[in-house]
Chains A and B, each alone.
Chain A
Amino acid sequence: MTEILPRFNVRVVKATSNELKLLVYEGEQIKASMVAKRMRTKVKLAGFAEGKPLQIGYCDARTEVDIECVKLWTVHAWEEAGLPGGEGVGEAVAEVLKNWEHYALIEEAKRLYEEAKSRPLLEKVDEEGRVVKVYATDGIERTTLGVIIVSGDCAAVSEGTLAEVEIEEEGEPVRRVKPIIVAVEHSSNVKTVWEVLDRDVAITLCGRPVVFRAGKLREIDAIIPTLAHIETLSEVLGGKIGDDETWAKASMLVLGELRRRIWFRDERVYYILASFVLFTYFWDLFATTPYIWFTGAPGSGKTHANLTVTFMSRHGLPLVEATKASIFRIADAFKPTLAVDESAVPRDVALVLAAGYKRGTLVPRAEPTKSGIRLSFFDPHSPKVFSYIDPPDDLFVLDRSIVITMVKGEPPYIETPDPSQFTHVRELLYKIRMLKIRDVIEASKIASRILDEKGVRGRPRELWHPLLAAAVLIGQEAVEKVVSFMADYLETRTLPYEEEHVVLAAMEEMFEEELGRQRLEVLDPERVTITFKASDLTVRIVKRQLEELGLEPEDKLYEEKKRELMKHWDPRKVGKILHRLGLERYKSKGAKGARTYTVPLHAFIDVARRYSYELPDGWRFGGGLTPPNATKATHPLESITTPSQATIAEAQEGGVRPLKLPLLSSGLTHPEYAKEKADLSTKQLTGEASTEHVRGVLDHSERGGVSGVNATQPAQDDVVGRHQGTSPDHRVALEALGGVRGVEKRHLGVRGADVRALVDDAKAVILELLASGYKLLLSELCEQLNPKLKGYCDVALRELAEKGLVEVKTVGDETWVWLKD
């Protein structure tokens, strides 16, 4: 509906098939109004520009409007009125008249749409004969004075104040102080409306019903000196705003006052505070509201700074002797910028106040009324400025605040701040809030892009987005200063997840060990899990912290510190932290009632990401994880020599000998094996000895079973074939091969389970390596296993061969292994 030309801007106010009403703007300033009325054969043109009526004109419109005539008339009338730029206006007006029919149709469609939209969803006549219509349930905005609504291209903003109003009551004019609201809708044109809130008033702004609630205000008997003056609001109703009345100009005034009254060592703080002051004029546009928290020694000027900022802010109100209940009511009714000072508000009340950081958090209160108890909800969400000697020690407040430490300085102007000293700043800001809200919407988008580029997410983004949007309105310098301050602030502030990070570090250590134990290159890393109890983490955490302190077990302090740390990080606390991290669902109850966590790697990575815990290089989020100990090779097989074509041919066509595993070639004989076995059955094996013994047993079994067969078996024989034989030697070999489980049961106790696990792991890794589909040299294959598993390579291979999963053959001097069909 708006035609934009280089200089003049014509907005269509009304378009029907018979009548067209236009407003001509130069920039944001209105220049003229024009009306075109279609008669039977011609169009009658009239206008009013710069306080003077334009000459009436007629143009031919028998078939269609004579556009050239319209243009000529506009230029002529414009010049007659002594106004410059007639050509431009003529072009713009002619263009609109050319598309008269289009505008009329669009207007008609819009009318139909709005009519349909305002039609009640439900309608009936009740038992008492009243017509009841239901329009909407959600989407209704409830407010008292101020609201900002953005819906598509439409933006609406309201502001209110208390004013002396004369109202007729029972035929007599009565003067009373009443709340007044002024609302401006910026859509295709600017629509303004004002209402006296002596009752609840519903206004549709940007197509959404907004209920201004007088009841909430009636409960408060107070005058806030920082509310907008009625003169300012009446100027807003007139739509008048000067070229120099901009956000940048207002911010200069704010910065000037701040520099004059408060001394900060860091120049950037002035811009942070100026951004905050501006932000209070559009804070309801954002879902979150950062707090300013002044801290410093007594006499460092905290209260002074707090009041200076608050009195320049929208609805600024210092709290004195406030109780929790009264604060909620005031915050709900006036949505003030509250100054919360140590001298006037107890710390516990201040902490309750800090709860109103996010939109939508409501405080319920049950109130006795004549008809019984009524449950009311209060919205404590509003900007707040705190001034306390100490910085906030509660994480949730610290997390939501920008803490500014003050040191004693000498500001040039030391008079105690008073609301009246800042009237000029506030009134300008109120006016700009109402008439330049679109600038804020744009600034918010720019700020969002800057934060995207800087990679700021989560809570820090909630905190800094509103301030950065305000800085964009101030100008480039402010943006640079705020971004620089933000970067320093985020870097140096205490991490809110300190304890969580300690627990995650211990878990990371466990995963590293697990990944080191397994070979992940060909595995799906998401299947890797660690199993632990909370007490396991306690031990690791304490060990790490003792190491960080540089304490050795022989140090005097070691035991004392260890006890202290064990107490601090007791398993119950670790359990609670794991719960906070959302790892509760991986918990299961063990046989003896111990709570065991089995956490998969992907869950750990996900939690680490969410809690901003940095994982080492190579750990990537998402699917493709590289284990921390992975070599540069993308695949383990890259370092393995593959057989030459000649060898392959030999292996495939003949000349293949039965397996001769290197381990089987020692010269021990069967009786020695029997002796070893007897030894095993009688002695208790512990530590590495058990492993060695098991290996020994296996070696000997193979020696007994295979050495003789190798020489006599036909070429096509393989390991499995041999094992399927009936020789007593074979049985001995098989017993040893498949009998690790048996050995573990009979002799190895706890260590036996470890051996079994290592053999199983070795089997898994061998299969993964062979899954590439190539034949591998036995020695190379075993070399690929990690040191812990290497010793079990032969046992694992034999078990796999026995099950018919792999084939092992010797060609010449080389033994090859591949997957068996």
Chain B
Amino acid sequence: MGVAEGLAVPERLKVKAILVSRLFRACSGCSEDELQALRYMLAEVSVGDLVAVKDLAERLGSRDKARVALRSLIARGLVEEGRDSYSLAKWVRELLARLCESMTKCQDIIEAGRAVSKWI
């Protein structure tokens, strides 16, 4: 294979592509509710369980749907359940941190997470 010199893309694009592809793979076949929940979690990174269910219930229509969506994300290894809280899985947080590092204007992983939430 020949290599096209000068076309190598910046690191942030690679990290972005890897992160999003892994999210697609982990959320392969996700329902719209699950995707909504994932976008929410990406934007929040870590959030208290009551608040998470309340916020998601507003978006999905019922608290049950919110709980089911969050359970499903936990089963898919995208979200972790802490003590009275939900957080993005460690591997997602690590990739978000890498992405944030590679971005020029990024304060923290929440900012990176919000950007990623728009891509999935």
Stretch at the interface among B10-18, B46-54, B55-63, B105-113: B10-18
- Indicate with 1 or 0, residue by residue over B4-36, a CB within 8 angstroms of chain A CB atoms: 101111100110111011101111111110000
B17, A771: Cβ atoms closer than 8 Å: yes
Residue numbers in B under 8 Å from A637 (CB-CB)? 1
A756, B30: Cβ atoms closer than 8 Å: yes
Q: Indicate which residue in B16, B25, B30 contacts A764 across the interface (CB closer than 8 Å).
A: B25
B119, A741: Cβ atoms closer than 8 Å: no
**Which residues of A from 647 to 701 have beta carbons under 8 Å from B?**
648
- Size band of the A side of the interface? 35 or more
Q: Indicate which residue in A588, A745, A767, A821 contacts B20 across the interface (CB closer than 8 Å).
A: A767
Contact (A760, B4) CB under 8 Å given A765-B21, A819-B17: no
Contact (A805, B119) CB under 8 Å given A773-B14, A819-B13: yes
Residue numbers in A under 8 Å from B14 (CB-CB)? 771, 773, 819
Q: Is A763 an interface position by the 8 A CB rule?
A: yes
Q: Is A121 an interface position by the 8 A CB rule?
A: no
Residue numbers in A under 8 Å from B10 (CB-CB)? 821
The chain A residue with its CB closest to the CB of B21 is A767
The chain A residue with its CB closest to the CB of B27 is A760
How far apart sit A498 and B10, CA to CA, in the bound complex (Å)?
51
Residue numbers in A under 8 Å from B8 (CB-CB)? 773-774
A638, B1: Cβ atoms closer than 8 Å: yes
Extra contacts besides A764-B25, A771-B21 (11): CB < 8 Å = A523-B25, A529-B77, A741-B31, A753-B29, A760-B27, A764-B28, A765-B21, A768-B18, A804-B119, A819-B13, A821-B10
How far apart sit A182 and B25, CA to CA, in the bound complex (Å)?
71
B18, A639: Cβ atoms closer than 8 Å: no
How far apart sit A764 and B1, CA to CA, in the bound complex (Å)?
23
B78 to chain A, nearest CB (A): 11
B7, A775: Cβ atoms closer than 8 Å: yes
The chain A residue with its CB closest to the CB of B15 is A771
Residue numbers in B under 8 Å from A598 (CB-CB)? 75, 77
A760, B17: Cβ atoms closer than 8 Å: no
A803, B3: Cβ atoms closer than 8 Å: no
A763, B21: Cβ atoms closer than 8 Å: yes
Most interface-central of B1, B3, B22 (chain A CB within 10 A): B1
A639, B119: Cβ atoms closer than 8 Å: no
Q: Is A518 an interface position by the 8 A CB rule?
A: yes
How far apart sit A476 and B16, CA to CA, in the bound complex (Å)?
63
How far apart sit A411 and B9, CA to CA, in the bound complex (Å)?
82
Q: Is A770 an interface position by the 8 A CB rule?
A: yes
How far apart sit A757 and B25, CA to CA, in the bound complex (Å)?
8
Residue numbers in A under 8 Å from B32 (CB-CB)? 741, 745
The chain B residue with its CB closest to the CB of A636 is B1
B4, A648: Cβ atoms closer than 8 Å: yes
B24, A764: Cβ atoms closer than 8 Å: yes
B75, A805: Cβ atoms closer than 8 Å: no
B29, A754: Cβ atoms closer than 8 Å: yes
How far apart sit A642 and B6, CA to CA, in the bound complex (Å)?
12
Q: Is A351 an interface position by the 8 A CB rule?
A: no
The chain A residue with its CB closest to the CB of B13 is A819
B77, A757: Cβ atoms closer than 8 Å: no
A6 to chain B, nearest CB (A): 65
- Indicate with 1 or 0, residue by residue over B41-83, a CB within 8 angstroms of chain A CB atoms: 0000000000000000000000000000000000101000000
Contact (A770, B30) CB under 8 Å given A518-B25, A639-B1, A761-B24: no
Residue numbers in A under 8 Å from B21 (CB-CB)? 763-768, 771
Residues of chain B touching chain A, judged by Cβ–Cβ distance below 8 Å, are 1-4, 6-10, 13-14, 16-18, 20-22, 24-32, 75, 77, 91, 118-120
Q: Indicate which residue in A518, A745, A803, A819 contacts B9 across the interface (CB closer than 8 Å).
A: A819
A757 to chain B, nearest CB (A): 3
Residue numbers in A under 8 Å from B77 (CB-CB)? 529, 598
Residue numbers in B under 8 Å from A773 (CB-CB)? 7-9, 13-14
Q: Indicate which residue in A645, A741, A763, A821 contacts B24 across the interface (CB closer than 8 Å).
A: A763
B17, A642: Cβ atoms closer than 8 Å: no
Contact (A764, B9) CB under 8 Å given A638-B1, A741-B32: no
Interface pairs A-B: 3 shortest CB-CB: A757-B29, A767-B21, A764-B24
A764, B22: Cβ atoms closer than 8 Å: yes
B91, A803: Cβ atoms closer than 8 Å: no
B75, A767: Cβ atoms closer than 8 Å: no
Q: List 19 A-B contacts (CB under 8 A).
A: A529-B77, A598-B75, A598-B77, A637-B1, A753-B29, A757-B29, A767-B17, A767-B18, A767-B20, A767-B24, A768-B18, A773-B9, A775-B4, A775-B7, A818-B7, A818-B9, A819-B13, A819-B17, A821-B10
Q: Is A495 an interface position by the 8 A CB rule?
A: no
- Indicate with 1 or 0, residue by residue over A591-630, a CB within 8 angstroms of chain B CB atoms: 0000000100000000000000000000000000000000
How far apart sit A763 and B18, CA to CA, in the bound complex (Å)?
11
A333 to chain B, nearest CB (A): 54
Contact (A760, B28) CB under 8 Å given A637-B1, A767-B18: yes
B18, A761: Cβ atoms closer than 8 Å: no
B28, A768: Cβ atoms closer than 8 Å: no
Q: Is A136 an interface position by the 8 A CB rule?
A: no
How far apart sit A641 and B2, CA to CA, in the bound complex (Å)?
7
B75, A588: Cβ atoms closer than 8 Å: yes
- Indicate with 1 or 0, residue by residue over A449-465, a CB within 8 angstroms of chain B CB atoms: 00000000000000000
B28, A774: Cβ atoms closer than 8 Å: no
How far apart sit A773 and B24, CA to CA, in the bound complex (Å)?
19
How far apart sit A645 and B6, CA to CA, in the bound complex (Å)?
10
A803, B28: Cβ atoms closer than 8 Å: no
A760, B25: Cβ atoms closer than 8 Å: yes
A655 to chain B, nearest CB (A): 17
B75 to chain A, nearest CB (A): 6
The chain A residue with its CB closest to the CB of B29 is A757
Q: Is A556 an interface position by the 8 A CB rule?
A: no
Residue numbers in A under 8 Å from B1 (CB-CB)? 637-642
The chain A residue with its CB closest to the CB of B91 is A527
B61 to chain A, nearest CB (A): 14
Contact (A757, B13) CB under 8 Å given A642-B1, A803-B118: no
A774, B4: Cβ atoms closer than 8 Å: yes
Residue numbers in B under 8 Å from A764 (CB-CB)? 21-22, 24-25, 28
**Which residues of A from 736 to 769 have beta carbons under 8 Å from B?**
741, 745, 753-754, 756-757, 760-761, 763-768
Q: Is A643 an interface position by the 8 A CB rule?
A: yes
A18 to chain B, nearest CB (A): 71
Residue numbers in B under 8 Å from A523 (CB-CB)? 22, 25
How far apart sit A764 and B20, CA to CA, in the bound complex (Å)?
7
Residue numbers in A under 8 Å from B29 (CB-CB)? 753-754, 756-757, 760
Residue numbers in A under 8 Å from B13 (CB-CB)? 771, 773, 819-821
How far apart sit A763 and B29, CA to CA, in the bound complex (Å)?
12
